[in-house]
């Protein structure tokens, strides 16, 4: 099953016999507070216009729990996550399509959580809302209650698992290269990377239009980074959001990968954990 869907394919499916549930997960990693500006408001953007029938999902409140020692976007309480999905009309037997404002990170986080907790049919709108050429609506739908019950699966790493995978397989760091190298760190306590991790910025998985590169090109890219067939692969980022987008890119390339949700925000919060700096993984 494809992990992504084009806008034209979505248009067709919405008029088909089994239309997907649509989730709008507009979100931005905002540093506006430090500049005295209001942070990005995903709900306001949703209410100003969304794909007809889409339900808004709040990443910070429904796809993550409160920040703390487990990172800035730790796993949500699964009972609360399940309730949010059911309120949005998500059922096990109904396909789901998730989109955001175009970056793809937030949509990928929702995609990963639904897949990890057992939903069999979830896709991300490739390129997000900017690719949608149909009408937008401002009315907020009230879908029928869904029946989805989340059950945790495999493909989740904790800090120890990420450290071990960096030695035994391939651990990809999805952040920008300068954060990986420790040259800048705008958010977390210390710059650098998990020893043994390989720099693989998420933005190199997409073209100028925000859509994913073709599957073959993605496969070649990941192979060059060491993620070839038979290799165990994991991904982390700052707080488990852009890394979900990397896991999605790997899925497009048909390479399974695990996600370290706590990511650098959890790793760097413990001064006893080792930190590597510079371009060398070690």
Domain assignment present for 191: yes
CA distance 250 to 248: 5
User: How far is the CA of 19 from the CAs of 88, 95, 134, in angstroms?
Assistant: 14, 7, 16
Residue with tokens 């990986």: 180
| CATH code of 263's domain | 3.40.250.10
Structure tokens at 269: 């919060």
Domain count, the chain: 2
Cβ 266 vs Cβ 156: under 8 Å:
no
Please give the pLDDT value at position 1: 64
Q: Which of 131, 147, 178 is the last residue of a domain?
A: 131
Which of the residues 84, 237, 243, 258 is marked catalytic?
237
Domain assignment present for 141: no
10 Å CB burial of residue 161 (0-12, 13-18, 19+) is middle
Dihedral class, residue 131 (left if φ above 0, else alpha if ψ from -120 to 50, else beta): alpha
Domain assignment present for 149: no
Please give the pLDDT value at position 38: 78
Active site residue 237: yes
Task: Specify whether 76 is located in the same domain as 178.
Answer: no
Specify the DSSP element, H or E, that contains 13.
helix 7-14
Say how many residues make up the chain.
282
The conformation of residue 17, written as its DSSP 8-state character, comes to S
Q: Rounded to 5 degrees, what are φ and ψ at 18?
A: -130, 70
Q: Which residues of the chain have pLDDT under 50?
A: 32
Domain assignment present for 205: yes
- Reference 236, options 226, 245, 224; nearest CA is 245
167-183 residue pLDDT tens: 999 999 999 999 999 99
Domain assignment present for 13: yes
Predicted TM-score (pTM) of this structure: 0.95
Task: Specify whether 8 is located in the same domain as 111.
Answer: yes
Please give the pLDDT value at position 268: 96
Order of strands, sheet of 4-5, starting from the edge strand that comes earlier in the sequence: 4-5, 122-125, 96-99, 21-24, 55-56
CA distance 209 to 192: 30
Task: Specify whether 57 is located in the same domain as 175.
Answer: no
**Residue 25 lies in domain:** 4-131
Domain assignment present for 87: yes
User: How far is the CA of 213 from the CAs of 95, 97, 121, 130, 207, in angstroms?
Assistant: 24, 19, 22, 17, 6
């Amino acid at each position: 099953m494809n992990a992504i869907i084009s806008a034209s394919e979505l248009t067709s499916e919405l008029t088909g016999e089994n239309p997907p549930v649509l989730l709008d997960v507009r979100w931005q990693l905002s540093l506006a507070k430090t500049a005295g500006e209001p942070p990005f408001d995903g709900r306001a953007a949703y209410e100003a216009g969304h794909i007809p029938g889409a339900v808004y999902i709040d990443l910070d409140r429904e796809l993550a729990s409160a920040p703390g020692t487990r990172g800035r976007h730790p796993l949500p309480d699964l009972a609360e996550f399940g309730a949010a999905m059911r309120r949005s009309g998500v059922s096990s037997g109904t396909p789901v399509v998730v989109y955001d404002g175009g970056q793809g990170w937030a949509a990928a986080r929702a995609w990963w959580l639904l897949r990890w907790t057992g939903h069999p049919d979830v896709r991300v709108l490739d390129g997000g809302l900017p690719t949608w050429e149909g009408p937008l609506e401002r009315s907020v739908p009230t879908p029928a209650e869904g029946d989805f019950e989340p059950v945790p699966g495999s493909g989740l790493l904790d800090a120890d698992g990420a450290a071990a995978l960096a030695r035994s397989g391939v651990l990809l760091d999805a952040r920008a290269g300068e954060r990986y190298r420790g040259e800048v760190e705008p958010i977390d306590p210390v710059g650098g990377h998990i020893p043994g991790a390989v720099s693989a910025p998420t933005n190199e998985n997409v073209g100028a239009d925000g859509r994913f590169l073709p599957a073959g090109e993605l496969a070649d890219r990941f192979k060059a980074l060491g993620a070839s067939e038979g290799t165990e692969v994991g991904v982390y980022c700052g707080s488990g959001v852009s890394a979900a987008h990397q896991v999605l890119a790997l899925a497009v390339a048909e390479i399974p990968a695990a996600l370290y949700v706590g990511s650098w925000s959890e790793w760097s919060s413990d001064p006893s954990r080792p930190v590597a700096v510079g371009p060398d993984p070690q």
